[in-house]
Structure 1
Amino acid sequence: MTAKLPGQATLGVMGGGQLGRMFVHAAQSLGYRTVVLDPDADSPAGVVAHQHIRAGYLDETGLAELAAQCDAITTEFENVPAQALARLAERRFVAPAGASVAICQDRADEKAHFAASGVVCAPYAQIRNEAELAAVPDDLLPGILKTARMGYDGKGQSRVRSRAELATAWNELRNVPCVLEQMLPLALELSVISARNEAGDIVQFPVQQNLHRDGILAVTQVPAPNVSAELAAQALASAACIAAQMQYVGVLCVEFFVLQDGRLIVNEMAPRPHNSGHYTMDACDVSQFDLQVRAMAGLPLGTPRLHSPTVMLNLLGDLWFDAQGVERTPAWDQVLALPGTHLHLYGKASARPGRKMGHLNITAASAALAGDAARAAARILGLSTEW
């Protein structure tokens, strides 16, 4: 795409969730006009964009309107149909490309891409039929059975310890194509967020240390407290290779496991800004959403810098209900009275358990101070302080 200066172009996004909302805000801060395509009339991104096209992701009329309105188009989540992005690319610049998103949509293709990038993942086997189920090597058990497509935040996954449990779990998943991964002894989880442009320039944020609860990200800490400089450099280099191998354009998050023996293993990737990068909105001089805008608009990426140690707490809908299940408003006044707190709510109409409603970034002059304030906020909200 020829660079479109701020105020001279319209940027579109497929998907109207919170990631689209934060992208729209970042684009508007540079003066871009924004258009969102999403079927939900009350989508968080649609209500803040200049224009909201209410249509399904494969609706030909909606796609044609989006292409007519925009100079460049991106996606806010990986399950937007890759063929829709390919159709849009016939008329407009699309980043990331449909081919890149398609790789991220299928765990088997994703793992093959990791191998082609020279990055090690957990031992695995594909299960697409009864013959492949029977041929699973014994050393992959115990393991984690994951649907090849449409799984996120722990959905579409089952832990299995034996062949009998594996067969039962595959039946419960309705015999859809799956990947069985060997269960490995994990020490901690990391992620790396990179932004890459058409010219192949890449910039990266510092390595993020993450804690998941029930398969959903709960806490991110930066700088990563338990990661050596050597391990961080390996993670950054691996993420850069993964992006370059598919000539990726846009923001890419790559998640890693650190094993108890110190080895780094790639887990999965997301072709978009990521929950674990939300801290960049307050702890860095440019955010992951700013870089998403710059990459798709052909602007210089710059070099993002972390100016404050930070802790990010994910805010799920559970916080909106007391122990008796009665809905209430969390004590935001008490939380915001703490030093360095930055509350981001996504404008969702209703809360429900497990639904991502917002996040809280805590910044401070030191990692210790950020941790202290984050734990104080967690206690006010009734969240675990164990991280």
Structure 2
Amino acid sequence: MSAAPILPGPVEGRRLATLGVMGGGQLGRMFVHAAQALGFQTAVLDPDPTSPAGRASDVHIATAYDDEQGLAQLMQRCEAITTEFENVPAGALATLAAQRPVAPAPTAVAIAQDRIAEKAHFAACARDTGVGPAPYAVIEAEADLARVPDRLLPGILKTARLGYDGKGQVRVDDRAALAAAWERLGRVPCVLEQRLALRDELSVIVARGADGAVVHFPVQRNLHRDGILAVTEVWSGNVPDTLAQRAVAATRAIAAQLHYVGVLCVEFFIVDDGSADGALVVNEMAPRPHNSGHYTIDACDVSQFELQVRALAGLPLAAPRQHSAAVMLNLLGDLWWRDGQPVTPDWAGVLALPGVRLHLYGKHTARPGRKMGHLTVTAADAQAAIATARVAAQRLGIAPWR
């Protein structure tokens, strides 16, 4: 990263500074909005000519992520470049990093792209923090199946690469099911995790600068359905203090040992170990802003996207403050369908509720399981936020969660 900050707004003797992002989805769109609000121009590289971020950006380079001409154009236009998803080719990021500041670094993204490397990193960090991954085994060849310890079954078999939102994961109960699942996944490198008794799911979002400065948001409590985030709840006291402190410390250590620059989200499980609060296990990390942090736009004085912009530009990282209790509901494409027929969600009924903010991502086609937007409910206290979120969920046809 450059030692000199990239300043926003007009600066004598040069054009407006431009920040680039690899990826044109909703995370890129919200990054673009945050960058533009601070006075930067933006450029997006994404092959989809109708991508949400591309249509919001000052410049949209509609090429493949590894297209040489597209990468050259992005480098020519931008002072610094980030990514909005972890599966962007690490080689393309390395090409960009040879000429421009890139945050997060290609090496950090490469680790997040590979569950085997990711879990090894978590295990190394656990020596300092005491918070590590679930017991696991690496399966890269048929001989590895026979070496799996009995204690890892029942378990969950996950592909080492290209798994997200519950994809590339199979629950297995015994060795026969494990062998069949590995065959069904194409005999690709995988990790087998011991299946644990889960009490809850948490996530922590930090922003880290090139100077090592780190700030974090409050610990978020999450609910997933079918492997996709459904609900995030954040307010003071929502997570036991001891667990929250350990989760933040573990996330900071994971970022520091990667020499990370940018916004990083780490997801955790609370597992039932017989204690009052339960034990903390690290699940996975996302080298970018995260779905569970979308509430920060409306419930905090600095959003995760503004911190992504600041970290990329080398600007000060102000510690964010949450000013309202918040419940965030993911809006999937399922809401636009009922009994196989297209419907229009009751937006008027939802927007009539106090403290409700609707964010739709500009996607033209609603499909089941596709993230179309999110709804954030803010209130002075947790009870009010929950009550309003329940009414909003009912009006939209979202299943209750409490």
Query: Which of 318, 336, 340 is equivalent to 1:325?
Result: 340
Please state if 1:174 is matched with 2:186.
yes
**Partner of 1:337 in structure 2?**
352
Shift of 1:225: 5.6
Residue aligned with 2:21, SS: strand
Shift of 1:200: 0.3
Shift of 1:80: 0.3
Query: Which of 84, 100, 112 is equivalent to 1:76?
Result: 84
Q: Partner amino acid for 1:206?
A: P
Q: TM-score, normalised by structure 1?
A: 0.99
Please state if 1:109 is matched with 2:120.
no
> Equivalents in 1 of 2:192, 2:238: separation in Å?
29
Please state if 1:34 is matched with 2:12.
no
Q: Is the 8 A contact 1:209 1:224 kept in 2?
A: no
Q: Partner amino acid for 1:375?
A: R
Query: Which of 154, 160, 163 is equivalent to 2:166?
Result: 154
> Equivalents in 2 of 1:238, 1:200: separation in Å?
16
Shift of 1:386: 1.8
Q: Is the 8 A contact 2:333 2:369 kept in 1?
A: yes
Q: Is the 8 A contact 1:315 1:359 kept in 2?
A: yes
Number of aligned residues: 386
> Could you report, residue by residue, the CA deviation over 1:169-212 in whole angstroms, capped at 9, with x for unpaired residues?
00110100000000011000000000000000000000000000
Please state if 1:282 is matched with 2:290.
no
Q: Is the 8 A contact 2:46 2:61 kept in 1?
A: yes
- Closer, same or farther: CA 148–224 of 1 in aligned 2, 3 Å: farther
Shift of 1:226: 4.8
> Equivalents in 1 of 2:67, 2:54: separation in Å?
17
Map 1:65-214 → 2, pairs under 5 A: 65-118=73-126, 119-214=131-226
In angstroms, what is the RMSD of aligned CA positions?
0.8
Map 1:303-322 → 2, pairs under 5 A: 303-322=319-338
**Partner of 1:368 in structure 2?**
383
Q: Which consecutive unaligned segments of at least 5 residues does structure 1 have?
A: none
Q: Is the 8 A contact 2:235 2:324 kept in 1?
A: no
Shift of 1:224: 6.7
> Equivalents in 1 of 2:236, 2:115: separation in Å?
27
Percent sequence identity over aligned pairs: 67
Q: Partner amino acid for 1:161?
A: D
> Could you report, residue by residue, the CA deviation over 1:209-253 in whole angstroms, capped at 9, with x for unpaired residues?
000001000000002765211110000000000000010000000
Q: Is the 8 A contact 1:14 1:38 kept in 2?
A: yes
Shift of 1:381: 0.6
Q: Which consecutive unaligned segments of at least 5 residues does structure 2 have?
A: 10-15
**Partner of 1:381 in structure 2?**
396
> Equivalents in 2 of 1:229, 1:139: separation in Å?
31
Shift of 1:302: 0.6
Residue aligned with 1:93, SS: coil
Residue aligned with 2:301, SS: coil
Query: Which of 18, 22, 40 is equivalent to 2:26?
Result: 18
Q: Is the 8 A contact 1:313 1:359 kept in 2?
A: yes
Shift of 1:329: 1.4
> Equivalents in 2 of 1:115, 1:260: separation in Å?
20
> Equivalents in 2 of 1:278, 1:301: separation in Å?
18
Q: Is the 8 A contact 2:330 2:371 kept in 1?
A: yes
> Equivalents in 2 of 1:229, 1:141: separation in Å?
32
